[in-house]
């Protein structure tokens, strides 16, 4: 009776551990001006895709803010970055994604938004107000974005830019492939149900390179990644991991699991103080509770699959 419940422990713990990292992450996605209808539509679509995927990463859509069009004003950007500085604390994470056009005059980078463009220096000053104990992931998917890669670098930051410097001025493809990575099983190289910033970056770089080769064109953008341990940032969750991050019932079950795991840890701490029979007498009911929880998880996942398939059970 003990062996079977124990088999359920690892997958449940893996999912809970995966989901627990989401609790203190805020995401701000900004789609700037396109200048032409094709770019306007493209930037909005990319921003929407990134925002949807970010909701699975944080487990709470309220922690994801998307600004685009007239909403992407300097005042709105300043307000959202100020909120991040006021609300975030040690151990939290902040993700900023800029999608659109950028310019560089040899000394200052500018992100194209309604009204006066916002400069790299202005954005950096606002980012610096966020506590240094908050890990930051900055994805600048714009032309000339490489101009800020080194300027924005800091011990608590990972900076990803679509270009290697401020001289690569053509409209970039990187943002579209970054958005695609957040829903791609191919991007999830280790198949753990989570897409990290490193995995998304590697995927987007490959896709950009493939696109230029397919067009028989000389590559006009070369992405950069500056900073340590980009894999610590989970930017999307796929499959069951996404469900555990977004479904209220599964989140509640995960919370129940945390309580059972605490009981399990308490029993295991007593192992050397108890006889074998006493130890297993205490261990068994905890493992049984964990097994019953696993049955509830399986039932909820099955119900969600039926819902997704329009009422017909999905075949394995």
145 has a pLDDT exceeding 60: yes
pLDDT digits (tens, 9 = 90+) for 51-85: 999 998 887 888 999 999 999 999 999 999 999 99
C-alpha 243: how far from its chain's center? 14
Are 270 and 282 within 8 A, CB to CB? yes
pLDDT for 309: 52
Q: Which residues contact 295 (CB under 8 A, 6 or more apart)?
A: none
Q: What is d(CA 215, CA 135) in angstroms, rounded to the nearest whole number?
A: 38
241 has a pLDDT exceeding 80: no
Are 169 and 144 within 8 A, CB to CB? yes
Which of 38, 32, 41 has the alpha carbon at shortest distance from 69? 32
* Alpha-carbon torsion, ordered 245, 248, 254, 257, to 10 deg: 180
Q: How far is CA 213 from CA 116, 144, 216, in A?
A: 36, 21, 5
How big, in percent rounded to 5, are the helix, strand and coil portions of the chain? 55, 15, 30
Q: What is d(CA 296, CA 151) in angstroms, rounded to the nearest whole number?
A: 50
pLDDT for 291: 86
6 has a pLDDT exceeding 90: no
Size (the chain), residues: 316
pLDDT digits (tens, 9 = 90+) for 116-131: 999 999 999 999 999 9
Which of 143, 50, 153 has the alpha carbon at shortest distance from 96? 50
How far the first Cα of the chain sits from its last, in Å, is 27
Edge-to-edge strands, sheet with 93-100:
64-68, 25-31, 93-100, 135-142, 157-161, 224-226
Element (H, E) at 316: none
Are 153 and 180 within 8 A, CB to CB? no
Instruction: Decide which of 297 and 4 is more confident.
Output: 297
* Alpha-carbon torsion, ordered 246, 248, 254, 257, to 10 deg: -170
Which of 208, 242, 207, 237 has the alpha carbon at shortest distance from 222? 208
In this structure, what DSSP letter does residue 89 have? -
Q: What is d(CA 188, CA 238) in angstroms, rounded to the nearest whole number?
A: 9
Q: Which residues contact 152 (CB under 8 A, 6 or more apart)?
A: 120, 124, 127, 138, 159, 226
pLDDT digits (tens, 9 = 90+) for 185-203: 999 998 888 999 999 999 9
Q: How far is CA 129 from CA 132, 153, 160, in A?
A: 8, 15, 20
Q: What is d(CA 264, CA 266) in angstroms, rounded to the nearest whole number?
A: 5
14 has a pLDDT exceeding 70: no
Give the mean pLDDT of the chain.
Answer: 87
Q: What is the pTM of this model?
A: 0.75
246 has a pLDDT exceeding 50: yes
Q: What is the DSSP string of 255-278?
A: HHHHHHHHHHHHHHHTGGGS-HHH
Tokens (6 digits) for 95: 């993700």
């Amino acid at each position: 009776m003990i062996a079977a419940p124990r088999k359920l422990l690892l997958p449940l713990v893996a999912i809970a551990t995966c989901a627990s990292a989401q609790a203190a992450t805020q995401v701000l996605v900004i789609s700037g001006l396109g200048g032409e209808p094709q770019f306007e539509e493209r930037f909005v679509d990319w921003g929407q895709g990134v925002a949807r995927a970010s909701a699975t990463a944080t487990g709470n859509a309220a922690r994801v803010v998307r600004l685009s069009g007239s909403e992407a004003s300097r005042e709105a950007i300043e307000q959202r970055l100020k909120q991040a500085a006021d609300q975030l604390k040690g151990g939290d994470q902040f993700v900023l994604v800029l999608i659109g056009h950028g310019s560089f005059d040899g000394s200052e980078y500018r992100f194209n938004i309604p009204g006066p463009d916002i400069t790299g220096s202005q954005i950096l000053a606002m980012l610096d107000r966020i506590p240094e104990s908050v890990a930051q992931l900055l994805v600048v998917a714009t032309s000339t974005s490489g101009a800020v890669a080194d300027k924005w670098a800091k011990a608590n930051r990972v900076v990803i830019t679509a270009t290697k410097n401020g001289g690569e001025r053509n409209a970039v493809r990187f943002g579209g492939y970054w958005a695609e990575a957040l829903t791609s099983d191919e991007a999830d190289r280790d198949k753990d149900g989570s897409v990290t910033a490193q995995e998304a970056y590697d995927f987007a770089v490959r896709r950009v390179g493939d696109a230029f080769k397919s067009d028989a064109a000389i590559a006009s953008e070369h992405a950069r990644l500056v900073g340590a341990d980009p894999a610590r940032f989970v930017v999307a969750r796929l499959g069951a991991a996404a469900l555990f991050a977004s479904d209220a019932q599964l989140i509640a079950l995960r919370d129940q699991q945390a309580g059972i795991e605490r009981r399990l840890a308490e029993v295991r701490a007593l192992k050397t103080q108890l006889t074998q029979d006493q130890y297993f007498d205490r261990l068994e009911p905890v493992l049984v509770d964990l097994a019953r929880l696993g049955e509830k998880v399986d039932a909820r996942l099955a119900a969600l699959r039926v819902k997704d398939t329009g009422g017909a059970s999905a075949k394995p």
